[in-house]
Amino acid sequence: MFNYLIKIEYDGTKFVGWQYQKNGPSIQEKIERAIKKILNCKKKIKINGAGRTDKGVHAFCQYANFKTRKEIIDKKKFISSLNFFLKRDLISILEIKRKNIDFHSRYSAKERIYEYFIINREGSLSIFKNKAWHIKQKLNLNLLKKGANILEGKHDFSTFRSSSCGARSPIKNMKSVNVTKKGEKIFLIFKSQSFLQNQVRSMVGCLKYLSTNKWDLKKFKQSFLSRNRKNCAPPAPACGLYLKKINY
């Protein structure tokens, strides 16, 4: 048995998310079908994603591993064939590596990095439509950074946890939350070993309330420390979220 790790980039706009679902096309399903076809396998190929991105979320660097009895000799040809079948879906396979049989793309990951992209201007989006959160109200960058600092460290993130989240514990260690601004573009970078379902989008939604003065810092802290989902602001839209990097 051989275990392979693939590096993936995708536009998540038209997908129900990474994970296979009955209510629409998923990235996982598209890649599994392509691998099965190329390897000419009779049995279903199952790939394990490192991050279960939600509907509409994009990825610069998603990883997934799969096991097969067939050794892939020509990796360059294999990637080329995969990309031929996936290019219409805006899914790209960037790399493939053989790994130890016990390696698992999800459970072996040491750090995940998500980026949230905001465009803060009056004019509507054309080039970045479905690729960023368009916010017309002027954001207070100073408050945005102060709120981001509060989120750093080991905390109970229940306020930002989806009701359907399957994680065993709401406690996560947020290694860093960095905010940078380049003209009208604002980027929020979140680093942690793992995240709760909807956590990043929920945090960004609360940071938006803070930076538009709908909340003050006291209200932001109260919402966070309440550990109650009912006190969370509406989550930021999926279109601005990117799985940026995964470290092993």
Is the CB of residue 5 less than 8 Å from the CB of residue 96? yes
Is the CB of residue 152 less than 8 Å from the CB of residue 168? no
Q: Is 89 in the active site?
A: no
Which residue among the candidates 54, 89, 156, 216 is catalytic per the annotation?
54
* Amino acid found at 78: F
* Amino acid found at 42: K
Q: Which residues are catalytic?
A: 54
